[in-house]
């Protein structure tokens, strides 16, 4: 199956399986200047945004096919990641389809308490994905997830559907789930653990008899694989 065909499956299943989360305005949202040239090293722009380095480490040949469940976030807890300071963006990195010959581009910036991922998605050269991955998750915080229904994520959206990938310490692949966003404000979502389905590192379906164990999660990533060419923007505020 081609990447473009697989991306079409992602869009169909994600829209059918996910409900739009509650959205609202939030005055804390920062701004960023879009750029088509990823930064090679951390730097601070004249506007006060801090850009972070990019990486080309994980190629992808196809996109996931899965149903997801999204509910409104109703409780609060200590975040696994928040972005209250510029230093909290350290360790986050970009991986786009350029690793497999594509031409999509994207960069990260920190602005006013938000980790902002902007760029342009292209399907040229059999490409079609852009992603960011965070640093290793504190094991104690990962264990704390086991008592929760699932990860709670607050983002400034762009109206597109984004995919979350979790990886565990068994190194056999990841677990993926998707959620829609609003272009008009903040999206608060709670992704149930049961909505995550197993996938390979190339986001292809992966066979396993074991359910996702939140205690063993070691990393988290956001992917854009909706098959729609054009600009994107995802502002991540917190992950709990």
Residues 141-165 have pLDDT tens digits of 888 887 899 999 999 999 999 999 9
CATH for 129:
2.60.120.260
Residue 176 in domain: yes
What pLDDT does 15 receive? 35
Of 55 and 95, more confident = 95
> Does residue 135 belong to any structural domain of this protein?
yes
Query: What does the pLDDT look like over 79-130, one tens digit per residue?
Result: 899 999 999 999 999 999 999 999 999 999 999 999 999 999 999 999 999 9
Tell me how many domains the chain contains: 1
Q: For the range 31-38, what are the long-range contacts, defined as Cβ-Cβ under 8 Å and sequence gap of 24 or more?
A: 31/111, 31/112, 32/109, 32/111, 32/116, 32/118, 32/233, 33/109, 34/118, 34/119, 34/231, 34/233, 35/107, 35/118, 36/105, 36/119, 36/120, 37/105, 37/107, 38/94, 38/96, 38/105, 38/106, 38/107
Domain span holding position 232: 3-25+55-239
């Amino acid at each position: 199956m081609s990447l473009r065909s697989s991306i079409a499956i992602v869009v169909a299943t994600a829209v059918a399986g996910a409900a739009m989360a509650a959205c609202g305005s939030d005055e804390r949202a920062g701004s960023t200047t879009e750029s088509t040239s990823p930064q090679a090293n951390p730097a601070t722009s004249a506007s006060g945004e801090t850009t972070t380095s990019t990486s080309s480490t994980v190629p992808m040949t196809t996109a996931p096919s899965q149903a997801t469940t999204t509910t409104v976030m109703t409780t609060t807890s200590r975040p696994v990641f928040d972005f209250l300071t510029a230093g909290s963006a350290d360790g986050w990195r970009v991986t786009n389809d350029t690793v497999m010959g594509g031409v999509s581009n994207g960069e990260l910036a920190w602005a006013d308490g938000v980790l902002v991922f902007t760029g342009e998605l292209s399907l040229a050269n059999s490409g079609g994905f852009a992603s960011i991955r965070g640093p290793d998750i504190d094991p104690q915080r990962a264990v704390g997830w086991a008592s929760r229904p699932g990860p709670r994520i607050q983002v400034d959206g762009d109206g597109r559907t984004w995919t979350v990938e979790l990886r565990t310490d068994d190194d056999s692949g990841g677990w993926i789930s998707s959620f829609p966003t609003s272009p008009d404000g903040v999206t608060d979502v709670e992704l149930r653990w049961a909505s995550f389905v197993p996938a390979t590192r190339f986001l292809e379906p992966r066979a396993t008899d074991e359910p996702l164990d939140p205690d063993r999660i070691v990393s988290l990533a956001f992917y854009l694989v909706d098959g729609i060419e054009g600009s994107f923007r995802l502002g991540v505020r917190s992950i709990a």
